[in-house]
Chains A and B, each alone.
Chain A
Amino acid sequence: MKKKRNFNLIAGGILAGGMLLFILAGVFFLPQDPETMNLELKFAGMSLSHPFGCDNFGRDIFSRVMVGARTTLIVALGTVGIGAGVGTLIGAFTGYFGGWLDEVMMRIIDALFAFPSILLALVVISLLDKGKYQVILALGIAFIPSFARVVRGQFLKCRELDYVKNARIMGCSSLRIIFVHILPNTLNVLVPTVMIGFNNAVLAEAGMSYLGLGVQPPDASLGRMLSEAQTHLFSQPLYAIFPGLAIILLVLGFSLLADGLEAK
């Protein structure tokens, strides 16, 4: 049992770390310009200068995957930042104080939870317009309920524990109890939740961009590349494989990491 746990953590760490390194490397160095078109290289196969081949405009797929993965990462981080930040605050306060505020907030959260997050994001997009920042905001809002629920559950559990009662007896303020005494104890649940949330954000962003509602050209995004690749699936399957693979590796890495941490 113990061996397997470590395996998850190690494999997840290597995959996620490798993908992050790959994305980071793309910030400083790109083998080719991702926007340069070269019709002579249309659908070129794998070669040393174009390791993943070229797309329908003769652009280097390797460089485009690097840039697209970066965009996806930024959107996912922003999304999780908004969702986890706001969700944690809501969950912490409603869970700790309870009462009618909790009752009302939970009704609203339940109503929002009734929407699958991508649907909620679509509503926001249809109200705001398309674009990278709109997607971050839309998905961020869509992710608040799930974080709020998890954190609230943890706070409900912790607030009944004797160490919290001790803190109240010694006269700690509610804010101090929430942030200094209880919050650190929710991290073991919160961190895996954030990682899973990150994965869902990656998948959701890819889905939205695939539908053309997310990141707009000229920004490259993995979802968008897949949607373009689909039309040329017959002539250049590589174009679809590599962006998809990038998504899978990124998500797989973080889900293994989350599993490993959770089992700890």
Chain B
Amino acid sequence: MKYVGKKLLTMLLTLLLVSFLVFLCFTVIPGDPASARLGTEATPEAVEMLREEMGLNRPFFVRYGDWLLSFVRGDFGESYDYEMTVGELLADKIPITLTMSLMSMLLIIVLSIPLGLYTARHEGSWADRGIYALNQVIMAVPAFFAGILITLFFGILLKMFTPGGYVSYRRDFGGFLAYMFFPSLSIALPKIAMTVKLLRSGLISEKKQDYARTAYSRGNHTGGVLYKHVLKNAMLPILTFLGMTLTDMIAGSIVVEQVFSIPGIGRVLLTAISHRDYPVVMAVIVCLAGVVILVNGLVDLLYQWIDPRIRLEAQP
């Protein structure tokens, strides 16, 4: 329990550090948002008035504290571009990106664990070599190119879905899920390849450990050694990897949303970046970082729940 508390504290501090860095970057580097908003022809007086109105003349840390407080309260500020608050803008998009990420995660787990086990068990067989080669190729395919190929093959040639025909989840949830399958697949593909490779090499190296030899010496067959002894040890690094993958996929969705014309968080972020809509950019980045930190924290907790060695360190 003490460990959980410490972990939460560390996560909170990391998030605080991230928010501070983001605030620092976006207030110091881009120059004066007031003059940016009014354009080059504004009089100095007008700029000064707007600065006062936007609260830009207060000390840096006061502004940071203010921003942080309203952020915690769920007030992310107002978009420069759209006539709505950032909160409203994002609330609509989050379910889309989240669905895509979770769907890819599901694909990764369902496909890569059996494949990893199979290849490790039949190390050196033709199937293993074939999967190894395929893995190498798939890992070299950028997610958006996978998306383009999938559009070409499943969309244009096989007509299994309409390219660009996004269905809103509010209108038709089933249709929405069906449309999200191929984008999720294109995000998941390279990650599946990496997970299979990592799991396979982890299993094989654990299989060579002394304890695996002990397991054989008690009369276990290969399957028994693999499933009862080796798998749990080999899964530990995979867990960390999957945690990092989930965060990677959220980022990867930015590109894939573009390929499949999906109006998710990534689209919002891209538009905001090219229009210099800083409140939106800041909100999206801090939220994404929050998700990333949360997921990694959960993975750490899960890890220590599984690995007895860490549990001991946590309870002196």
Contact = CB atoms under 8 A, between A and B. Distances in A.
Q: Is there a contact between chains A and B in the complex with CB atoms less than 8 Å apart?
A: yes
Interface of A: 1, 4, 107-108, 110-111, 114-119, 122-123, 125-127, 199, 203, 206-207, 210-213, 223, 226, 229-230, 233-234, 237, 240, 244, 247-252, 255-256, 259
Interface residues of B, number: 49
B49 interface: no
B148 A114 contact: no
Contacts of A127: 25-26, 29-30
Nearest to A251: B140
Contacts of B251: 116-119
A213 B273 contact: yes
Interface of B: 13-14, 17-18, 21-22, 25-26, 29-30, 124, 129, 136-137, 139-145, 148-149, 151-152, 156, 163, 247-248, 250-252, 254-255, 258-259, 269-270, 272-274, 276, 281, 285, 288-289, 292-293, 296
B142 A211 contact: no
A123 B25 contact: yes
B136 A240 contact: no
B205 to A, nearest CB: 12
B258 A107 contact: no
| Interface-central residue, A125, A199, A233, A249, by most chain B CB under 10 Å | A233
B148 A229 contact: yes
A123 B285 contact: yes
Contacts of B136: 252, 255-256, 259
7 contacts: A116-B247, A117-B251, A126-B281, A207-B255, A240-B145, A240-B152, A251-B140
B145 A226 contact: yes
Contact of A203 (B17, B137, B142): B142
Among A1, A108, A207, the most chain B Cβ lie within 10 Å of the Cβ of A207
A249 B139 CA distance: 11
Given A115-B289, A119-B288, A207-B142, A108 B17 contact: yes
Contacts of A251: 139-140
